[in-house]
C-alpha cells in the first residue's frame, strides 16, 4: 500500500546554529535546520540538498518550485533563477509533466490538499485554463490582479483538473488553508475556527487516510522571512514544530512516508531579508525513507525519487476523497 504526505515549506534553508537563525533560536526538535548532521528526536537524519542547480545567482520560487515538482532543472534550461510565479515556459513544462500528473497516470489518488476558501471556483475551468504551450486562458470573471499571480502548485492543480477545496471544506476539516491557523482568514471576516498546530496535523493525517499522496504547501515561512520580525519567525517555527511532532506521532513508519523540503533558503538567516544560497532540508521519514534520502541530492531529484517509490508499491484502492464537484466546461478565451 502507498501513502505519502509531502510538506512543502517555502523559503527554508539549512543555516548556522547562531543568533541569526530562528530555527536555532526556537530550538526546533522536528525542524532542526541548523548545525552539523541535524536529525529528528528519533534519529531520522535531515539531509541538506542543493537548490542552486549549477546556475549562478540567487534561487527563486518560480524556477525552484517548477524544478521541485517536475524533476527538470529549470534554471539550467532557461539560464537563470526566476520568481515568483511561473512564466509561459515554466507553465508549458508543468503542463507536460508534474508530480501530481505522474502519480495519477500510475493509478494513484494524488491530491493537492490546500484550500482556496475565497477563490475556489476561480481556479478551475471555465474560469482559467492552461494550454499545451503554457498560455493562460482566463474568463472575463477572473480578476485581473490574479492573472500574474498564479503559483506553481496552482498550475499543477489546474493541469490535473482538480477543483480546489473551499471554505466549507476547511470548516469540515477536509482540507487546510496555507495559513493553517486560519487567522488571516478570520481577520478578513470569514466565519472560521482558529486551528492550532495539533488540529492542523490531524486534518492532514485524516486527509492522508483518503489519498495515496497529498501535497501541502506552506508559504508563511517565506513571507515571515521577508516581512516579519525575528521573534515572530521563532513563534511561527515553534508552531510548525508542534505540527510535525503531532503528525509523525500519528503515522506508522513501517507503512507510510512523510517528506519535507523547500525551494530555496530564506527563513534560516535573518542577517538578510532576501533569499539565500544555502542548501535546503530534505526530510524523508517512514517507508522507503533510506532510498529517498540516498536518491536525492538536489531539488531536481525529488519528483523522480517519489515517483520511483510509488512504482515499487502496490496501488491502494480507496474511495476517492474530493471536494464538491461542479460541472466543468472548458472554454478558450484567447
Q: What is the pLDDT of residue 1?
A: 52
Q: What is the pLDDT of residue 252?
A: 96
* 8, part of any domain: yes
The three cell numbers of residue 19 are 543568533
* 234, part of any domain: yes
* 72, part of any domain: no
* 150, part of any domain: no
Contact partners, residue 191, CB within 8 Å, separation at least 6: none
* 131, part of any domain: no
The three cell numbers of residue 12 are 527554508
Among 91, 62, 65, 67, residue whose Cα is nearest residue 77:
67
* 172, part of any domain: yes
Q: Give the CA distances from residue 267 to residues 8, 58, 224, in Å, rounded to whole numbers and listed in that order.
A: 14, 14, 7
* 41, part of any domain: yes
Q: What is the pLDDT of residue 284?
A: 98
* 49, part of any domain: yes
Q: How many CB atoms lie within 10 A of CB 229?
A: 11
- Domain span at residue 111 reads 4-61+95-117+168-311
The DSSP result for 175-223, as a single string, is SB-SSTT-HHHHHTT---PPPPHHHHHHHHHHHHTS-SEEEEEE-HHHH
Read off the CATH number of the domain in which 269 is found: 3.40.720.10
Which DSSP category does 323 fall into? P
Is residue 289 within a helix (H) or strand (E), and if so which, with residue range?
helix 289-295
Contact partners, residue 276, CB within 8 Å, separation at least 6: 13, 15, 58, 264, 265, 266, 268, 269
Q: Are 75 and 277 in contact (CB under 8 A)?
A: no
Residue matched to cell numbers 525529488: 302
The three cell numbers of residue 46 are 535531515
The Cβ-side half-sphere exposure at 68, using a 13 Å CA radius, reads 32
Q: What is the pLDDT of residue 318?
A: 42
Low-confidence ranges of the chain (pLDDT < 70): 1-2, 314-334
Q: What is the pLDDT of residue 314?
A: 56
Count of the separate structural domains present in the chain: 1
Amino acid at each position: 500500500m502507498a501513502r505519502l504526505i509531502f510538506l512543502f515549506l517555502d523559503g527554508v534553508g539549512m543555516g548556522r546554529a547562531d543568533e541569526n537563525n530562528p530555527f536555532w533560536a526556537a530550538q526546533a526538535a522536528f525542524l532542526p535546520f541548523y548545525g552539523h548532521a541535524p536529525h529528528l528526536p528519533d534519529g531520522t537524519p535531515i539531509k541538506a540538498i542543493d537548490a542552486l542547480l549549477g546556475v549562478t545567482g540567487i534561487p527563486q520560487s518560480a524556477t525552484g518550485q517548477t524544478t521541485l515538482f517536475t524533476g527538470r532543472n529549470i534554471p539550467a534550461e532557461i539560464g537563470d533563477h526566476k520568481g515568483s510565479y511561473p512564466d509561459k515556459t515554466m507553465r508549458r513544462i508543468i503542463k507536460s509533466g508534474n508530480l501530481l500528473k505522474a502519480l495519477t497516470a500510475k493509478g494513484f489518488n494524488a491530491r493537492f490538499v490546500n484550500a482556496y476558501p475565497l477563490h475556489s471556483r476561480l481556479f478551475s475551468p471555465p474560469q482559467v485554463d492552461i494550454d499545451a504551450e503554457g498560455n493562460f486562458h482566463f474568463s472575463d470573471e477572473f480578476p485581473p490582479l490574479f492573472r500574474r499571480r498564479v503559483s506553481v502548485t496552482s498550475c499543477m492543480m489546474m493541469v490535473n483538473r482538480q477543483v480546489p477545496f473551499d471554505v466549507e471544506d476547511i470548516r469540515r476539516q477536509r482540507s487546510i488553508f496555507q495559513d493553517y491557523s486560519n487567522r488571516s482568514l478570520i481577520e478578513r471576516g470569514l466565519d472560521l475556527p482558529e486551528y492550532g498546530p495539533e488540529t492542523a496535523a490531524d486534518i492532514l493525517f485524516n486527509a492522508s487516510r483518503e489519498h495515496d499522496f497529498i501535497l501541502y504547501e506552506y508559504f508563511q515561512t517565506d513571507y515571515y522571512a521577508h516581512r516579519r520580525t525575528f521573534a515572530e519567525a521563532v513563534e511561527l517555527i515553534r508552531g510548525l514544530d508542534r505540527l510535525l511532532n503531532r503528525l509523525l506521532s500519528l503515522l506508522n513508519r513501517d507503512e507510510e512516508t512523510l517528506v519535507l523540503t523547500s525551494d530555496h533558503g530564506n527563513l534560516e538567516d535573518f542577517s538578510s531579508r532576501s533569499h539565500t544560497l544555502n542548501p535546503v532540508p530534505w526530510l524523508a521519514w517512514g517507508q522507503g525513507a533510506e532510498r529517498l534520502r540516498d536518491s536525492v541530492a538536489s531539488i531536481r531529484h525529488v519528483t523522480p525519487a517519489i515517483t520511483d517509490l510509488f512504482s515499487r508499491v502496490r496501488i491502494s484502492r480507496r474511495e476517492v476523497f474530493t471536494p464538491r464537484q461542479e460541472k466543468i466546461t472548458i472554454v478558450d478565451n484567447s
